[in-house]
Amino acid sequence: MDGVEHLYLNRRPVKQRTLKTEIDCKGVALHSGNKVTMTLCPADVDTGIVFRRTDIAGLRAEIPARWDNVTDTRLCSVIGNDEGIKVSTIEHVMAALSGCGIDNAYVDVNGPEVPIMDGSSEPFVFLIECAGIIEQQASRQVIRVLKSVVVSDGESMASLSPAENFSVDMAIVYDCAVVGRQSVQLDIINGAFISELARARTFGFLHEVDAMRAAGLARGGSLDNAVIISGDGIMNEDGLRFENEFVRHKALDAVGDMYLAGGQVIGAFSGVRSGHALNNKLLHALFADPSAWCYATISAHDEKAFQTGKAQRDHEQRSVAVNG
């Protein structure tokens, strides 16, 4: 655990980070049902996150995890390259890499889909913790949001606004008593992703699962890797991990999708009924407007000022709560 613990000593990463050593896992692919091996590997500075299909030889098997390489957003986020090589269901491992502050890594997978594991990011966080984290001799480059960008599709909306750190504000509405209206707001700093979002699992409705299987999808789906809703009840014997696990998972997805910006976003994400398609549309809108963003680095001086201001704001909020 030491490799991650030092990362959250009341500060944000200033230097780029990668893994100390490579580590692998095996699991089932959600849609194909095939057994898959995935390996997280260290990478040099400025590499970013790059997926590599180990079942395909040569450089053509490499796919940088970026918004402009997203080829499909139905049910999951899929990335591909000009050679037609693809990797799907990447959002949960991307969220783990983002939440653990990993800037550079290779994600090797011996098939076209990342293993679903338990349907959350927690197994991938565990892998990162076991591998350990090292700082690299280069400043961390972030994408700073300079002005608000908003996209919508019917009743769904997603936006990015200027802020001093990355935060997620997500709301969902389902015509279902088990889910109903849920919301969550979280600053993704100081280990908050690991403690508040990483364990939230993907979910689905039984009638949708049946329809997907009839279409050749969700062949690897089970109660071991998803929360399944049937009528007004949950089929999983162990119940929910959080009272609002459904919206927390949507927020987890947003963390993973926003990391496809090609670096950590410094801005406030807000979503209402937002999913992978709208999240990617938001990044397209952001980068289409050069005045809406810029590359920046966080210096030790900037971080000290941020933490001083954060401590003052936390004190003021506690005072208001106490004094009413």
SS3 44: coil
276 is catalytic: yes
**What CA–CA distance (Å, rounded) separates 297 from 264?**
10
Residue carrying the six token digits 């789906």: 221
**pTM for the whole structure:** 0.89
Amino acid at 21: T
Going by their DSSP bridges, the two strands 227-230 and 156-161 should be labelled as unpaired
Residue carrying the six token digits 């076991």: 130
The two structure tokens encoding residue 96: 């783990």
Identify which of 284, 282, 296, 267 has the alpha carbon closest to the alpha carbon of residue 69.
284
Euclidean distance between the first and final Cα of the chain, in Å? 40
The active-site residue out of 6, 207, 276, 315 is 276
Q: Rounded to an integer, what is the distance from CA 55 to the centroid of its chain?
A: 25
Amino acid at 164: E
* Segments of the chain scoring below 50 in pLDDT: 1-10, 308, 311, 315, 319-323
Cα angle 280, 106, 124 (rounded to 5 degrees) comes to 75
Positive/negative CA dihedral, 148, 151, 157, 160? negative
Which pLDDT does position 22 carry in this prediction?
98
Which pLDDT does position 8 carry in this prediction?
39
Question: How much of the chain exceeds pLDDT 70, in percent?
Answer: 87
Instruction: Give me the domains of the chain, ranges plus CATH numbers.
Output: 15-319 (3.30.1700.10)
CB contact at 8 A, 226 and 200: no
Task: Tell me the per-residue pLDDT of 73-124, one tens digit each, with 9 for 90 and over.
Answer: 988 999 999 999 999 999 999 999 999 999 999 999 999 999 999 999 999 9
